[in-house]
Structure 1
């Protein structure tokens, strides 16, 4: 029955294209010549204006009847009183939208996400899009519906993500009909779709090459040909022309990159950190040589608050399963990013390359710790940096500030301080040269109207006008930063979270807080009375460290 439906559906689409006279290019001509390789359209611009597009985890959203997934559900944040207590708590994040939107409708939730993202400097979402999760389509439809109804200037597209199972034709068919249904309902001409100046839908991929069945015998072609052919089939079903932005998730060779550039107009880098040997240098150079589009990418960190099965990338989707496995059979993965160093340098690199699109990894993947969405650890530090660099990228000048801004970035404990009793192993990946000692410092980023001085724990250092980075020793205790001019106190930043010498659980998230954080919360939620990270702040009556000292005196 399925094959009959599939063949009938394809036949209908083919007939429609023949009638409309707009059939996608065949993969080969009658002589077997490759018609997909080095097409003229691959060198065309992918965007008419500079945009910041964030990868959005479609299903990680809070509204009535729809909780956050277990790996970012605040129910499993405390190290006691829940089924993950034996792990010291499954999650180490508290998305601020969780309590605020607990009774919201889906439409209210997506409106909040768009407005919060715009405040962070983001212009649109590319939705994490997988097979077998058809129910997520209603969330995407809601974004389009609300953007149109509320006249929110925001762009959308899909990110075809690690498809698996079945055959190529079945995968293409499943994706194609879902995408077409969404686009038919919203309207293919809806201005909220992310399109190239010549009208192609910009389509992202994340390990999207697995859409294709790549034969062992390539018959003289590269694997990229078969991948491109699979997306050509997807075009036929969706009745769209694509400009596919292919993800690079590894330290790719130039040969493999060139094979991708034979068939695709643009690439984007996933969580490959900025170092002296940054892979972006080679990729950007080849894209320029081949007249393809290199798009910039920046990520704020990488630490899997989610728990993984030891030695794998298989996550425990449910807190109960992680608790049963226990600490000995679990691990978390981590990339050293030098606090805000990686995020800043990737932005500076993208500006230097004058990229037409900037990709943010990610808006709301709280479980992997590279979120910008409001949460008690990252707060608004990375969003302030994004807006600053975005202004420079788009207009050639730094953001003109009418006030002095101070941002602090640090870890809650030093790398050599071993958590007890919940010491879950952390596996560092992408070891490409960032000094781990940098992450034991307190990094103070200032954006000042004029020159000043920054003081922290009796250490004073100059802070020139504009954006400047100052590092201080990451001593345990309170983080209180003072800006002075001519021996006069101008601003103070007193961070709610302290640095500890006695961590009770593994946690390598980067914490940030700024002089604008409370204003950010007021703008988003109408109040600043929302959860804050105070795990190691002894001035808070019931922080988690004090709980363990009182219940485990030997610790």
Structure 2
């Protein structure tokens, strides 16, 4: 464990640099000073949000925050009580779905917060309305719905659009997934499905009424195919359509898709090694944003927290919350117009930020600070003390007790894995952080505003306190102890603490 502690020590200065840069930015860019003419003006009103360390600004701003919504993992799959639903019986259990996931210990390591059965026929729309309310509570403007299947095979997009229309003040960014069945549709078939979605009242439109179409893995169809799609959509809807492709492999696609695009996005990295603001080499995140802006296009920055995939046998080391903060830093410093949280609910890849069993509301609430900073141009004033603590329930190298034959290994370009407890503090005045893990005490100063503190992970439980003048003003403890061996390999970061 001394090696791990040593690695934590060597990055303390680096972490401080990232945190400071993400809290205070003075970078000026033409998109900040002169928003695109179809965008809205900024509001400065605030709502009292006692569940956050600050009062959330409200109103519409030029900058948009979407969360990528995966249809496969709604709040409930079968409308059964959460303690015995499909998630519990089939996705979390290693032997679930007839044992097809046994080699990697079960399909999932987390799930949406369970609920009781809803005794009404439109329970799916009710669940969507719940998720929309969850997202709005931290300032998210809409879901980027991953439209995977043709409309004849799935009504998920239609129901989500209906729920958003009922809820109001929430947009659905139609995102055609070209990595799946939609890639096999003809132009006519594709347009028949997508035009129906884009015509829905809740489909996202620019302020001048222009509907917006995004596409995941857009590069799997040539620009000429997309040009034909956009021309057909324009003819059918009698209005132009703003196209924002999301590239998995960017390469030279910004130039190739320039003539048909309103903006661009890249699915992006999941580790600090791919997030450095100082890297301006061709193909780096900063370079891609600059390429888009030089062409007069908007940029939608991907904002991940973590990524671990049991069924694929791979994980990315996000170094607790460092990847997340660096992604926000890229968006803010480089003047991205939109961001996309990666993801709202993809539990199979452990990228979900929605309220869940493993991290409660805390991942959303932790991101709320950066959402407010991004949308309103400055960090919100901290009015309530809080701490958010991330950790794994096992050492990275620990082997599971369950006989898994496909274990997750670090991705080829990821950061070196570590075993750490990270405390993100929000303080109304200077304070002191104490982390007691095993027989080790780690102390840090908590600055006014946001700060971070790292401690080595130890087996068993831990407690974290933030004190001021000898009085505890915030505290948290492990909700699941750190064990070796774990029952199944679980390399996601859990979160404890927060205010709800």
Q: Which TM bucket (shorter chain)?
A: 0.7 to 0.9
Paired residue for 2:207?
Answer: 197
Structure-2 separation of matches of 1:167 and 1:50? 30
Paired residue for 1:502?
Answer: 485
CA contact 2:216–2:245 (8 Å) conserved in 1: yes
* 1:74 corresponds to 2:84: no
Structure-2 separation of matches of 1:456 and 1:514? 13
Q: Flag the 1:88–1:72 CA change in 2: closer, same or farther, 3 A.
A: farther
Equivalences for 1:51-90 in 2 at 5 Å? Answer: 51-63=64-76, 65=78, 73-76=87-90, 77-79=92-94, 83-84=98-99, 86-87=102-103, 89-90=105-106
Q: Deviations over 1:449-485 (max 9, x none)?
A: 1111111122222111111111101111112101112
**Structure with more contact order per residue of length (Cα contacts < 8 Å, sep ≥ 6):** 2
CA contact 2:79–2:117 (8 Å) conserved in 1: no
Q: Flag the 1:205–1:106 CA change in 2: closer, same or farther, 3 A.
A: same
CA contact 2:355–2:362 (8 Å) conserved in 1: no
2:413 aligns with one of 431, 447, 450: 431
Paired residue for 2:295?
Answer: 290
Paired residue for 1:93?
Answer: 109
Paired residue for 2:163?
Answer: 146
Paired residue for 2:189?
Answer: 174
Structure-1 separation of matches of 2:216 and 2:399? 35
Paired residue for 2:352?
Answer: 371
Give the TM-score taking structure 1 as reference length: 0.70
Paired residue for 1:350?
Answer: 331
Superposed displacement of residue 231, structure 1: 3.5
* 1:385 corresponds to 2:366: yes
What is the aligned residue count?
Answer: 426
Paired residue for 1:244?
Answer: 243
Q: Flag the 1:128–1:72 CA change in 2: closer, same or farther, 3 A.
A: farther
Paired residue for 2:8?
Answer: none
* 1:442 corresponds to 2:452: no
Q: Flag the 1:226–1:148 CA change in 2: closer, same or farther, 3 A.
A: closer
Paired residue for 1:515?
Answer: 498
CA contact 1:45–1:293 (8 Å) conserved in 2: no
Q: Deviations over 1:372-419 (max 9, x none)?
A: 111111322321222101221222332223221111111121222222
Q: Deviations over 1:510-554 (max 9, x none)?
A: 1111232xx2xxxxxxxxxxxxxxxxxxxxxxxxxxxxxxxxxxx
Structure-1 separation of matches of 2:106 and 2:216? 26
Q: Flag the 1:258–1:393 CA change in 2: closer, same or farther, 3 A.
A: same
CA contact 2:389–2:423 (8 Å) conserved in 1: yes
* 1:489 corresponds to 2:472: yes
Structure-2 separation of matches of 1:406 and 1:371? 20
Structure-1 separation of matches of 2:361 and 2:193? 35
Superposed displacement of residue 65, structure 1: 4.4
SS of 2:257's partner is helix
Structure-2 separation of matches of 1:103 and 1:96? 19
Superposed displacement of residue 447, structure 1: 0.7
Q: Deviations over 1:321-346 (max 9, x none)?
A: xxxxxxxxxx4232221111111111
* 1:339 corresponds to 2:356: no
1:107 aligns with one of 122, 125, 129: 125
Paired residue for 1:454?
Answer: 433
Superposed displacement of residue 101, structure 1: 5.2
SS of 1:199's partner is coil
Consecutive unaligned residues in structure 2, runs of 5 or more: 1-34, 41-61
Superposed displacement of residue 228, structure 1: 3.0
Q: CA RMSD in A?
A: 3.0
Paired residue for 1:40?
Answer: none
1:476 aligns with one of 452, 459, 467: 459
Equivalences for 1:253-264 in 2 at 5 Å? Answer: 253=251, 255-264=252-261
* 1:128 corresponds to 2:125: no
Give the TM-score taking structure 2 as reference length: 0.77
1:404 aligns with one of 385, 397, 401: 385
Structure-1 separation of matches of 2:487 and 2:38? 48
Paired residue for 2:50?
Answer: none
SS of 2:186's partner is helix
CA contact 2:113–2:357 (8 Å) conserved in 1: no
2:376 aligns with one of 385, 395, 400: 395
SS of 1:177's partner is helix
Q: Flag the 1:287–1:97 CA change in 2: closer, same or farther, 3 A.
A: same
Of the structure 1 ranges 71-80 and 175-184, higher mean CA displacement relative to structure 2 is found in 71-80
SS of 2:169's partner is coil
Q: Flag the 1:487–1:53 CA change in 2: closer, same or farther, 3 A.
A: same
Structure-1 separation of matches of 2:243 and 2:96? 47
Superposed displacement of residue 238, structure 1: 4.8
Of the structure 1 ranges 387-396 and 416-425, higher mean CA displacement relative to structure 2 is found in 416-425
Structure-2 separation of matches of 1:56 and 1:167? 19
Q: Deviations over 1:3-59 (max 9, x none)?
A: xxxxxxxxxxxxxxxxxxxxxxxxxxxxxxxxxxxxxxxx96674422211111134
SS of 1:181's partner is helix
For the pair shown, which has the larger CA radius of gyration, 1 or 2? 1
Paired residue for 2:59?
Answer: none
CA contact 2:176–2:182 (8 Å) conserved in 1: no
